[in-house]
Amino acid sequence: MKINPVTLIIIISFFYPILKGLLVGFSSYSAKRDLENVIGSVSFILAIYVGIKYIRNIFIGNENSIFNKIISHLPDNMAYYFQSKPIVIYLIVIPLAVYIIYKIIYTILLFISNITLYHLIDGIEKLVKNKNYVFRKIMGAVVQIPRAVCYILVVLLALNFASIFTTNSDFNRYLSNSNIYRYLCQQFVIPVTNSSVAKKLPQIIDDSVSIVVKQNNLEKLPNGKINDTSPGRTIVYYNGVTLDEGIKSNQQINNFAKNLTAGETDTISKSKKLYDWIGRNIDYDYNKANLVLNNNFNVQSGAIPTFESRKGICFDYACLYVAMARANNIKVRLVTGDGFNGVSWVSHAWNMVYIPETGKWINVDTTFSKGGNYFNSRIFDLDHKNAKIIGEW
């Protein structure tokens, strides 16, 4: 049985300090040095939390952010570069802010420890000084538990952060297949990094776009017989249906979509209206996602069954958006690629809409809408990548 390297790293990071404490035993000098390491880890975790949750919102969380005010004074070409690449904030501004916050928190916690916990450690030293060998060893392991917990959190944060920016498929597969990593991420990392999408849809997508390419070699001859030697054509199936079947609409959907946007006059307002309605009224179908993951396509996919059942997975969301956009004569695309679900990159589907008033295509992800604004969002590319347009209407 092969051991997942990610799982192995997590296990080692937890048990290493405990085993070290067991072997070395308890000493006040080592305990104080270890306490400093724990303070450093805690300070780092708190700095990450504050930096990502609050600094991100200050800089790129709203239209009146500091980021927008700064770039408004830059030359047009530089302003466009920073607006189109919000990842710069994550790679430069947020790490710098996290470091400053870390130093502040570390200094405060170290000062508090010097006047409180250090005295407690000295007291424990006196307590175990005359105890037997085994007791000192056990105490050495026990006092390392906080450090072990901090090690795990730091490793999880590092792996999660690396997964956002890496394109290595093997690394991503190890993350996806590690049950320990996935569970701990859901419980601890996602709340710290404030991934609202992942919190509201904790099992979102997870490779729920299954693409199968088949060669249709059967050609019907005029006499009614089948010619199985013809070159045929390639047919692509998405979750068991063709793209044409997936986006197929009906009169009920068309009428509903037109009535929904009746009060809007411009394309972007109509597109946003459709986005809002699908995001609020279509629920993610976890049972269907699990069936698709296991290549079981005995389920209905596409716009019509999604509209009727009010539930589906990402491909269904995207198909319904296409159907409703077409009913309003809005140019729309269906896109497949990878989406970041807070744990790892997985197969995903979303849309693009053409806005004639600006002459630009904008990104729209109705599946992610319950977790935040994914309608023409500037940070869209942070958790979407490898986009491939599979259809345009």
pLDDT tens, residue by residue, 187-210: 777 665 554 444 443 344 454 555
| CA–CA dist 103, 185 (Å, integer) | 25
Question: Which position has the token pair 């708190």?
Answer: 46
Task: State pLDDT tens for residues 345-359.
Answer: 778 899 999 999 999
CA distances to 158, 171, 181, 340, 385 from 162, rounded to whole Å, are: 6, 9, 13, 12, 15
Please check whether residue 215 is in contact with residue 234, taking contact to mean a CB–CB distance below 8 angstroms.
yes
| CA–CA dist 15, 376 (Å, integer) | 45
For residue 260, pLDDT beyond 70: yes
| CA–CA dist 298, 275 (Å, integer) | 28
Strands 233-238 and 211-216: antiparallel
- Tokens representing 292 are 């698709």
Please check whether residue 49 is in contact with residue 192, taking contact to mean a CB–CB distance below 8 angstroms.
yes
| CA–CA dist 251, 89 (Å, integer) | 46
| CA–CA dist 200, 190 (Å, integer) | 11
Reduced to 3 states, what is the DSSP secondary structure of residue 228?
coil
Comparison of pLDDT for 268 and 295, the residue scoring more: 268
Among the listed ranges 115-129, 145-159, 315-329, which one has the minimum average pLDDT value? 115-129
What percent of the chain lies above the pLDDT cut of 90?
A: 24
For residue 33, pLDDT beyond 60: yes
Task: State pLDDT tens for residues 298-316.
Answer: 677 889 999 999 988 888 9
For the chain, what are the domain ranges? 5-194, 243-392
For residue 64, pLDDT beyond 60: no
* The listed CATH number (3.10.620.30, 2.40.40.20, 3.30.413.10, 3.40.1350.10) that belongs to domain 243-392: 3.10.620.30
Band the pLDDT of 52: cuts 50, 70, 90: low
Q: What is the pLDDT of residue 87?
A: 61
For residue 53, pLDDT beyond 60: yes
CA distances to 51, 59, 150, 330 from 69, rounded to whole Å, are: 19, 9, 37, 33
Question: Which position has the token pair 């990878």?
Answer: 338
For residue 322, pLDDT beyond 90: yes
DSSP per residue over 271-325, as a string?
HHHHHHHHHHH-EE-HHHHHHHHTT---S--SHHHHHHHTEE-HHHHHHHHHHHH
| CA–CA dist 76, 215 (Å, integer) | 50
What average pLDDT does this structure show over 153-165?
A: 79
| CA–CA dist 330, 324 (Å, integer) | 9
Comparison of pLDDT for 43 and 52, the residue scoring more: 43
